[in-house]
Amino acid sequence: MPELPEVEIVRQSLSKNIKAKKINKVLVRNRNLRFKLKPYFENKLKNQFISNIQRFSKYIILMFQNKSFCVIHLGMSGTIHIIKNKKKNLLTNTSFYHSPILPKKHNHIEFFFDDIKLIYNDPRRFGFFLFIKDKENLKNLFKNYGPEPFDKKFNLNYLTNFFKEKKKDIKGFLLDQKFVSGIGNIYACEILYSSKINPLTPAKDLHKSQLKKIIKNSKKILYRAIKEGGSTIRDFKNTTGDTGQFQKKFKVYGRDKKNCKRSNCLGTIDKIIQSNRSTFYCKICQK
């Protein structure tokens, strides 16, 4: 599943290609996504002028001139492809997941602009599109989500109060969108490794110095991943021909049974399963 950095890369790509453009037509080939598309979806988006494109957590938000919105979630396998009318471009994928070219199957939604076409592809159909009529409804959609790691609210006071008497392990909290928005499995592993924290540690047992490390490394690692273009688990390219480079800098994720990268540590990376997710960590330096 794309995590915050990968979704941010998609947002940036969309911003370059469709910001300040009008949607001339919407074609829905399959309404049966994670949430079935409403019958009015096409008409609500037709002739809408895109004033801006934002992101919250793992969601992309198309902002329209009339103050309504379209919220997009890519789910497990969703990708957005851009087809240019007057230019043959084999690399159509705005993200670094799955095929860099437009697949022949599972193209569920198409947005038509004057010079380009946007296509949503999703084999598993866990992604979704929602039309949101105003800012109040958009706010309600995200009311149960925690702050993003970049938010000023994600601070020591917030973590200290949130973790009081909480027995759940810290890895579980980093994946809990009610606690913090946007962190997924890859970056949770990397954050805890950089912070020298055992992923099995109950949140209530963490000291202030450890909480400070989590805050610092969450911001640092996600920012670096965005700068590096996200993580390409499979070696594919996006619409510009670039690949995500952050996977080359993984310190722990996917490194099962390999030596710990810390120069003063003789440990090896272990893989365990937490809440049906793979967790990678060093038993020696992650206390």
Catalytic residue list? 2-3, 58, 277
Phi and psi, residue 29, nearest 5°: -95, -25
Residues 6+ apart with CB under 8 A from 60: 7, 10, 11, 14, 53, 54, 71, 72, 73, 74
By the 8 A CB rule, do 131 and 45 touch? Answer: yes
Query: What is the identity of the amino acid at 146?
Result: G
Continuous H helices in 182-279: 185-194, 208-227
**AA identity, residue 195:** S
Picking from 21, 12, 24, the residue whose alpha carbon sits closest to that of residue 53 is 12
143: exposed, middle or buried (Cβ count in 10 Å: 0-12, 13-18, 19+): exposed
